[in-house]
Structure 1
Amino acid sequence: MGNVERNHVIVLAVIEGAMSVTEAATRFKVSRRWIHTLLARYRTGGLGALDPQSRAPRSSPHATPPTLRTRVLELRTALQRDGLDAGAESIHDRLTREYPNPPSVSTIWRILKADGAVTPQPHKRPRSSWIRFESPAPNGCWQSDMTHWSLAGGVPVEIITWLDDHSRLVLHISAHTTVTVKVVTSTFLATAKLHGLPASTLTDNGMIFTTRFARGKGGPNHFEHVIAQHGIVQKNGHPGHPQTQGKIERFHQTLKRWLGEAPQVLCRSYAGCGSRLRVA
């Protein structure tokens, strides 16, 4: 006999069978207190009230308010539309400007997942397997890299960025016809004049940063000489392993997504825009 049927039999035995509570407790091997509970439920809601009751709380005082959940999804849509990073951390950053106690990054991620705004990617490595590193203080390490882009009309440019590894602050970004060793050195020195010298630099093994794979031809380049003169440690990632410079690689990914949407963003920002700029 299931619990539901057993509860029905106990109550009916007392109500219709004239069995006392004590006799029913002895007959069905339950406590008198439990029988009184069943009888109270029966008087309130009939036999249907004898079914097992949910133990879930009647309310969730810590649940994210519906208006805040809606705002999370609105920010997700707006950031994606503008070509900006639309992850939980970016949304959290915006919410801190609007709410004194915004939901945590993990809560925002759960809201996005529940709404279907996040596509599960089980093939990716779990976060627990990542080996993360971060400079312990500002100016402990600067990452730098160069990436390609095309202006309207197909004009190619090369963009160089200097990024602080600790804070992820973009210290410098500029576009050039070609990023040469001279450009690397001049942008580094100009950035150091504003923010102070870093303790180390981290780049890939491009010839504009290092000649370590030049097979001994020509010796260190001008950039290598300059940072050596200032006692700065030069670090380079392993060939074919861009994850070492993951912070600046991710920034350039976000930058290109924003550049791809920039003409549409500008047109939405100015009334009467009759045509869209084209970014190749």
Structure 2
Amino acid sequence: MSHRNARLTVHGRRILVERVQSGRPVAHVAAEMGISRPTAHKWVRRWRAEGEAGLHDRPSRPHTTPHRTPATIEARACRLRTDRKLGPARIGAILGLPASTVHRILVRQGINRLSFLDRPTGRIIRRYERDRPGELVHVDIKKLGNIPDGGGHRVMDRRQAIDNKIATTDARKSSKPVIGYSFIHSAVDDHSRLAYSEVLTDERQHTAIAFWQRANAFFAAHGIAVERVLTDNGSCYKSKLFTHALAAAGITHKRTRPYRPQTNGKVERFNRTLADEWAYQRPYQSNNERTKALADFLHTYNHHRSHTALNGKPPISRINNTAGQYT
């Protein structure tokens, strides 16, 4: 791309060629346009060899780099990075290369940060984002242990918390301290990251269907018409009733590949945010207290909390900025 003080742009080079083509000397045309004769000859020569394409800028990268690290060594460095998660210093010691050279190799291959890789497999994570709200909504369920009345071990010592669990367990059951689980059903819009969650008692198909109907109404209230829903392969989502419920509303149901939670990564990351900033953000005295706090968290998340994928803005900003564009 031409710099701001360049004498010639693509349009100027075209004028140069046209004047030379008319039979005028290159030296005279160069003087008129305020450039040197070698520069004028260069563009005329390129035009004669390549035509219109020769008038455009080229990258300054050399055609050959004799001192570049051989491809076989680069491949070994990449394997050490993806298989063993080693850093530039350790890879350099193994391959006999400076750490700075290894770092340049990793940057060139797009694996200089471990966050770019899937930890179990070492594969590069392919990140994606849909173009408009409602084009894809991620849906998932997170299971959390219930909190007994009076609080769990985050409020009291562990022995007292176990006794408290036993006291709140149904008398017909054994004295084993089991108090059950809550199931947090969540839906996250792929483009805007607008989120909707509910704390429910199970993860059965009818519960999942009823949740989605309420979530769909939530998105519709924000002007989002849902086109596709992406879920994992949980039993409630594999049921025909769930798929039929989506189809009845004109929504396509998609499922992730087995054992590939990164495909559904936006709601998976939202589940982690739920745990850090709501479920375990502070000690709760009861399960009801934690459930009531969810509404405040969701309002903060959607309307006030900055999101790194949205340039530091909350999800609602994308809904407001794109209102009316996709209807």
* Same fold, TM-score > 0.5, yes or no: no
TM-score by length of 2: 0.38
Larger radius of gyration: 1
TM-score by length of 1: 0.44
